[in-house]
Structure 1
Amino acid sequence: MPPQPRRKHTALMLLLGTSLLGASLLGTAPTAQAAERNPTCRAPKNPALAKQLTRDLRSALAGRRGTVSVALHDNRTNLNCTLDAGLSYDSASIVKVLMLEATLRRAQQRGRPLTPWEGRNLRPMIRSSDNAAASRLWNDLGHPYLAGTLRRAGTTRTSLGPYGYWGLTRTTAADQLRLLGGLTGPRPFVTYRAYGLKLMSEVRKDQRWGVTAGMPRGLRAHLKNGWLPRATHGWRIHSIGAFTGGGRTYRIAVLSHDNPSMAYGVRTVERVAQAVHRNLNKGRAVARGLTPADEISERSDGSVPPWAPELPHP
């Protein structure tokens, strides 16, 4: 858990005021309504693929509770899929990809290699989702540079977490896809792209659930997940990733909240991922299936300390 003293929480409460506290107390239980089920896929050169994947995504989410957003882009077919991709969520640990990208970009802009200190913090932050390392990088980069990284990536609805609560950064599936594009897209900051993707391919085994479900053999997964329960909106379960190999690259971002448990949210995300991988890799052997329920921890990623206030959602 990031070292964020309770005295910061007291100051934050005073700044936010009683109206914010009152708003947070009005919605302390996660909702259980079914998510909207209107995914849209478009592929001008392969309309049959787009139509089939639209049906399969709708089927994957049928009967699932919670709120789910999806964004997908495949460079080979120019396929794009969205489902409520502009809906805002607390980022939890997926904001660490922004910190990774900002640190790599800063080094390249300054014409220098990564410092030993940067490397010592980037590696555990991505590989094991280390929160102390994330806090150090967040403070070192600062809001202005992080905001500039968001602008360069073309994000439109991501706002940085206030008062050091980086896990309360608000973001959307569409913006997460844009950030992944900084590492995989047509005009990335080339020098450090391979290093960033390498770290995301080395996420430890117990954190490799989510968008990897259903991926075929022969592709490499580069991912980051977030898993955070709070009094409002239940479990936030997010998984973002890029898949490379065989002359193709595709990016997936699946964000969700209002999940009754971590295992439930993981299964929802993985059903979406299975539909995507199956349609983009027809006939290929599957390398990874669904994550067994007994391998899902039901422990928070610690990206937001328990004393942090509940901020109202739009």
Structure 2
Amino acid sequence: MAGTVSADDKNVSVAVEDLSSGTTAGYNVTDDYVTASIVKLDILSTLLYDHQKDGTSMTSDERDLATKMIENSDNDAASALYDDVGGSSAIEPANRVFGLTDTEVDDSAFGDTTTTATDQVKLLRQVFTSDSVLTSANRSYIQNLMSHVETDQRWGVSAAADDTSSSADDYMLKNGWLPRSATDLWEINSIGEVQHDGHTYLVAVLSAQNSSMDSGIDVIQKVAKEAVDALG
């Protein structure tokens, strides 16, 4: 990854795990990045984990909000669920259970939460593997939402899948994008699971200081594809 990452002034990190072989790899994985909307996966995972502990189920309103939050990346729905779950005071303890050690939730603006590529793969493990505190039913519920992200948001780690088309079922993902008003630069992130050459991969690509949304998408898609190809 050195050439690609250096060409982007080292403003991108990637972590990959091959679930078929157990092999892991990463580049710049200890660098902190603003999550933008990928934090919505953390919000939903926390909500489901808390329901598990309490022996309760999601309400119909929560399910409607969760669908909008993950499939459409709706910020109002995310804000409502963030408040329902108890904000950072609930998400941070859940993250410790999930094994996320380098994620700091921003209580005043959840999209400004910071994280690392390594932590995001740990979160993906909670969603996509049996080595998880989440029940099989809850994992399947999250996966279903991530497989139905709206068409114009199906970019990112999907570039590493065998079938990269917007209607493909070779990937499940959640993306995040955030323009910084102080610099006019973009945070662009993508996390998810992809199928490639008979293997299943968890992939997290985080980036910052992008001149535009499109340029950031180009970078993370190239990094995701090269990382999976290298690990395969």
Q: TM-score, normalised by structure 1?
A: 0.66
- 1:66–1:259: 8 Å Cα contact kept in structure 2? no
- Specify the code of the residue in structure 1 equivalent to 2:206: L
CA deviations over 1:154-198 (Å, ceiling 9, x no partner): 1111111132x1111111111111111111133221231101011
**Alpha-carbon distance between aligned partners in 1 of 2:157 and 2:32, rounded to the nearest angstrom:** 19
Alignment of 1:176-215 (within 5 A): 176-188=120-132, 189=134, 190-215=136-161
- 1:158–1:171: 8 Å Cα contact kept in structure 2? yes
User: Radius of gyration: which is bigger?
Assistant: 1
**Alpha-carbon distance between aligned partners in 2 of 1:127 and 1:267, rounded to the nearest angstrom:** 21
> In 2 relative to 1, CA 277–157 (structure 1 residues): closer, same or farther, beyond 3 Å?
closer
**Alpha-carbon distance between aligned partners in 1 of 2:81 and 2:194, rounded to the nearest angstrom:** 26
Give the match's secondary structure for 2:206: strand
What corresponds to 1:157 in structure 2?
Answer: 102
**Alpha-carbon distance between aligned partners in 1 of 2:169 and 2:196, rounded to the nearest angstrom:** 5
Alignment of 1:37-116 (within 5 A): 57-61=1-5, 63-65=7-9, 67-116=11-60
| Runs of 4+ in structure 1 over 4 Å off | 244-248
**Structure 2 alignment gaps of length 5 or more:** none
Aligned pair partner of 1:234 in 163, 180, 185? 185
Give the match's secondary structure for 2:229: helix
Aligned residues: 224
Aligned pair partner of 1:138 in 82, 103, 111? 82
Cα-Cα RMSD = 2.1
> In 2 relative to 1, CA 233–249 (structure 1 residues): closer, same or farther, beyond 3 Å?
farther
**Alpha-carbon distance between aligned partners in 1 of 2:33 and 2:231, rounded to the nearest angstrom:** 27
Q: TM-score, normalised by structure 2?
A: 0.88
- 2:191–2:204: 8 Å Cα contact kept in structure 1? yes
**Alpha-carbon distance between aligned partners in 2 of 1:154 and 1:128, rounded to the nearest angstrom:** 27
**Structure 1 alignment gaps of length 5 or more:** 1-56, 282-314
**Alpha-carbon distance between aligned partners in 2 of 1:108 and 1:244, rounded to the nearest angstrom:** 29
CA deviations over 1:216-273 (Å, ceiling 9, x no partner): 1486311111111112482101011112599753211100101111111111101112
Give the match's secondary structure for 2:14: strand
**Alpha-carbon distance between aligned partners in 1 of 2:188 and 2:10, rounded to the nearest angstrom:** 10
